[in-house]
Amino acid sequence: MKFVFAAAAAVAVTGMAGAAWAQRDPAYEAAREAGQVGEQPDGYLGIVGNATPELRALVNSINIKRKAAYTRGASNGATVEQFAFVSGCNLIAKTRQGEKYKGPDGSWKTRGAGAPERDPRCV
């Protein structure tokens, strides 16, 4: 199991990071800066608080693209869910100060100057 996570991590770091940051269009960036969306441990973007139809459409669109990338990236015995989890670990680690992310306890957190709280299985 550890090998699967390590293999998925290597692919996630090299393959998913570019795709995730390329998603930072103006609406996405504005929603992140406003604390309306945040990264989740499962690798998908989540809505923090109330959602407008526009925000829900934006998050759904990004998550559909992420699922497609995770499906393409899952290999070497890793499932799509394992690949998505490792990507979630990496995306949370790459959040900027002031951005939202879901902590291991399931609550929304705001990234401070230090490292974000991540699931202990994150490598």
Give the mean pLDDT of the chain: 85
Q: Is 113 among the domain residues?
A: no
Residue 9 clears pLDDT 60, i.e. is over it:
no
- CA distance linking residue 102 with residue 2, whole number of Å: 23
Question: Is 18 contained in some domain?
Answer: yes
Burial of 8 (0-12, 13-18, 19+ CB in 10 A): buried
pLDDT of amino acid 23? 53
Range of the domain at 15: 2-103
Question: 110 lies in a domain?
Answer: no
Residue 6 lies in a domain: yes
pTM: 0.81
Measure the CA–CA gap between 8 and 118, rounded to whole angstroms.
17
The answer to whether residue 54 is domain-embedded is: yes
Strands (E) in 24-113, as ranges, are: 37-39, 45-47, 100-102, 108-110
**Per-residue pLDDT tens digits for 82-91:** 999 999 999 9
The domain total for the chain is 1
